[in-house]
Structure formats: structure tokens, C-alpha cells
Structure 1
Amino acid sequence: MKKKWQESDISALIEEFEQLLFKNNMGIATEEENCRLSELIKIKEVRAWYYKIRDRYPNAQFKIECEPKRRQMKRIVASIVSLLLFCVLLYAIHLVTKDPTPARKSEHGFYGTPLKDLVTKASKQYGKTIVLDQPQIGDIPVSGGFEFESDIRLDDFLYNSTYPYDLRYYTDSLGVIHISY
């Protein structure tokens, strides 16, 4: 929607334009003044007047399309936000397409089983009696990254099930293995 200008408004705009054009021609205009110059040249009457007198200002250089800084800042912010969204999208794609196995496979990978269940399995597997000296030890969910397997040695099993939880194990004179704090 074009604005209708009064004759007095047009003469004031032309006067302002000529002052800014003079500064621009001399090379002393600021960036804001150059932007205002670009805004004024968009007015039909000012542009017609400029084409009549442009020979007086041969060194005048200004952009016809000068955006206000606020609009430029909006573009910068929009670019940063879109870049962040792109990074989030790439990370989401990475999470969806990555191999579901952990980056470093441990040879034993069992999580969350209570220690008393593992001790029961180990007792049956190795034919040894394994006793938990304190009953609350049996409720510890084993998440140290091991699984009771048939090919694991008894010493390795005992070490893996006690070391991460600051437990100790020992064998008494009858051959019973005790696990305690």
C-alpha cells in the first residue's frame, strides 16, 4: 500500500535526501544515513527528483536495497536457529541409525540381576557352596557388565561380582565361599 504524500512532506523529504546525498558523495555518511538514503529513494517523488539532479553528485554510492539492522538480526537469529535444528536432526538420525550394540562389547554383558540369583546359578554350575554373609548383599542388582556363563572361571565370576560393589570373598576351611562387605 503506497502512502500519499503531501507537498510539504515531499519537500522536507527531498531536503533530507539532498543532505544525506551530499554526505554520501563526500564519503562521510554513516551506515544508518546510507540506509535512510536508500529508504528515501524508494519514494516515487524523491526518486524522480534524484534523477534530475544526480549529475551534481557523481561520487554518491548507496544501495537501493538497504535493510534495517533489525531485519538483518532476525535473519542471523533465524539462521542460527535453523542450524541448531539441523544439528539436532543429524543427531537424531545418528541415534536412530547407529548400531544397537554398545561401542565396546564386554565379554560378559548382564545387567540388573540380583546377586543372590547369580550366586545360586554359580553354586549349581561349579558344585561349590557360595554363601552371602549379609542377606542385604543378595538384593544388589548386578550391573557391573557381566553375565554368568558356563565358560567363565569361578575366580573370574567371584571377582566380577564383588569388585564393583566393594565386596570381598574368601573360602573357609570347609571349602565354602563367603561373600561379605
Structure 2
Amino acid sequence: MPGRTPHDAVRAFLEPLQSALACIANGVISARGGLSPKVRAPQQWSLNDGGGVELLTEHPEGLTLYASMYWEVIEDDREGYGPFRVTTRGYDYSLVRGEATELWAIHWHPSGNSWERLPHVHLGDVLFADGAPVSSKSHLRTGRMTFENAVRWCIEFGGVPLHDDWDERLALAEAPHLLHRTWSANPDISTPPTPGVFT
């Protein structure tokens, strides 16, 4: 999201994400590098410092959402995009039932140990019948998945929204991202990622 200063850009980036989270849970999006990072310095946010958030659900084992995103502040001289803005460098969202039954994981990790560098989803083995042609190890490619999409998936999988107008709230939270994003289907993976991100 654009801003006059790096601090303004980070606030414009994090506040809608916090609003999206509030649709399903009480928790905090924690920015590891603070609200005034250096330009081009790798950053990360996570839910409750990596501890995830428990969702209101009727499932007896409970549901927990884990989420983190890698990002950095960059300079952008295009009209309406700067002079500073936050750009996403990767994400990891997952929904876990009980202690360790992963229902799904939504990933984009353009660098690191995995061969898959494009956005994708893993569906938990618990969702498949015997003999299914895919497994939780399969990388099922997607377009770019927003945090708001992950919140919608949580609701589809049994998380109870905390507000009756959750869908409208999510749409409002997602709107700034949709307006300022630079890609939606496939990122430019020919550009080397910033050192320190997903290493």
C-alpha cells in the first residue's frame, strides 16, 4: 500500500489485514521489523508472534489459523503508488484442526528449499478418500491468494464469523490490496528475491 513515508505505507498495509482478522478472531498481526522499517529490508508479520489464533467453531477439536507474510517497503514513483509502498514477497497461511491435523496450507515461497516457486495450495490428507490422485504433498497451483481469501476459507471450513457483515468487512479490507497490487496470476519469478527472504 502506498504512503508518504515508510511508516505510512506499513500502516496502510497492516491495518486492513488486522480488520480482516477481526472478522474471525481476536488476535494481533505482529510485525517483526516494527512499523518504520528501512527501505528494501526484508520484513515479516505473523499472527500473535507465530502462535496463530484459535477460531470460534462448533468442531470439538477446535480450529487454529496460522499465517505469516514476507514483505518489504520499496520506493515507487508511479502516480498513486508511492512515494513508498509495501510489496509482498511471500506468504504462508494454514488451518489446523485439533493439535496437528492440517486441513489446508496456502503458500507462495519464491525462494527457499521447495522447487515450487509459484502460488499454490496443499490440501490436508484428511480431506482425501483412499486412492485419491493427489495428496497433501501435491502443489496445487493457484493465483495470488490474499489473507482475506484465507479468512474466507476458514469460514468455509467451519470457523464462525464474529460479525454478521463479515463478507462486506472482508471486501473493504481487501479493496486496497486489489487496487494497488502489481500481479494477480503469476509473479515475475525471473527477478531474484531480496536476500534474507525465505532462506
Q: TM-score range by the shorter chain?
A: under 0.3
The structure where strand makes up a greater share of residues is: 2
Greater RCO, CA 8 A, separation 6+: 2
TM-score (norm 2): 0.18
